[in-house]
Amino acid sequence: MPGPIKTLVDATKGLKFTESPRWRQGKLWFIDIHDKRIKTVDLSGSVATALELPFIPNAFGLTPEGTIVVGDAFQRKIYRQAAGNLEPIADISSFTTFCLSDGIVDAHGRLYVGDIGYNFVDPKAEPVETCVIVLVGQDGRASVVADKLFFPNGMVITPDGQTLIVGETLGHRLTAFDIQADGSLGNRRVWAQLPPSVGPDGICLDADGAVWCANPEGTDSVVRVREGGEITDRFKVDTHAYAVMLGGPERRHLFISTSASHDPAEIQRHPSASFQVVEVDVPGAGTP
């Protein structure tokens, strides 16, 4: 049975708004969006800055060699760390609308990244079902590999590298694609249609093939979903959960990225970000 949920680290250690957690070499790597940094935290709660950024980031991943790949969320450009600096690799602003969403780097070093598609900071703006997933190769070549998505957010790739699953936050579903040899996506299908109370944000995969979903707007903060839509586990935290990652020595630590607000002004006034952690029975698998 899962253990109790504990706080690993909170805003007293400088966290502003954490997203895109990835476990690598004994540390949780993540972007702190409103602190404009890529940071790490270990199991003792020690936080360090890996890279300072000149922009608000999203679309963060690590190549198999550990190279940082990250997007400038609003300019919609992709960068790679090289010799301690950032080098531009792709401008995908012509493919995307308003702001980048989550991204994932596969075993070949290719980045898949979604866009948000509408002006989410404008209360009058209507959500649109025109979002895309863009593939960015290591050589910087970019192309749209999926379209007509309803706010694509967290992504995972199965251990065999054959399937990409994306959470459509405003579509209340997990959608799967077959990954072709050239990185293009095919055989689009609904992997799990979720209830209206679940809008998946960041996601991760376990060794039984189930997906853990952060659910910032729902009563259940985090849910575990099997293919087909069965919800097997639910967690509640005392705030909002935005992303999850399975890591730790056996990949049975479920890290939950939380914050009381996603409003930038409120975050600067009263940052409330934290990482909660709970031990679960089934270890993590796949990418990230």
**Is residue 164 helix, strand or coil?**
strand
Mean pLDDT of the region 273-280: 98
Note the pLDDT of residue 126: 83
Cβ–Cβ under 8 Å, residues 107 and 64: yes
Cβ–Cβ under 8 Å, residues 255 and 277: yes
Least confident residue range of 21-30, 112-121, 204-213, 218-227: 112-121
- Residue ranges per domain, the chain? 6-279
Cβ–Cβ under 8 Å, residues 82 and 68: no
pLDDT tens for each residue of 118-152:
888 887 888 778 899 999 999 999 999 999 999 99
pLDDT tens for each residue of 168-191:
999 999 999 999 999 999 999 999
**SS3 per residue for 20-56:** EEEEECCEEEEEEHHHCEEEEECCCCCEEEEEECCCC
Mean pLDDT of the region 266-285: 97
Note the pLDDT of residue 154: 98
Mean pLDDT of the region 239-261: 97
Q: What is the DSSP letter of 206?
A: B
Which class is domain 6-279? mainly beta
Note the pLDDT of residue 128: 79
Cβ–Cβ under 8 Å, residues 33 and 17: yes
Mean pLDDT of the region 149-161: 97
Q: What's the pTM value of the predicted model, to 2 decimals?
A: 0.97
Mean pLDDT of the region 41-45: 98
Neighbours of 198 (CB within 10 A): 25
Look up residue 262 and give its two tokens.
Answer: 């996603």
Note the pLDDT of residue 121: 80
Please check the confidence at residue 74 and state whether its pLDDT lies above 80.
yes
% residues pLDDT > 90 (the chain): 91
Neighbours of 161 (CB within 10 A): 13
% residues pLDDT > 70 (the chain): 100
Note the pLDDT of residue 1: 63
Mean pLDDT of the region 5-25: 97
Note the pLDDT of residue 72: 98
Q: Buried (b) or exposed (e) across 76-114, using 16+ Cβ within 10 A?
A: bbbbbbeeeebeebbebeebbbbbbbbbbbbeebbbbbb
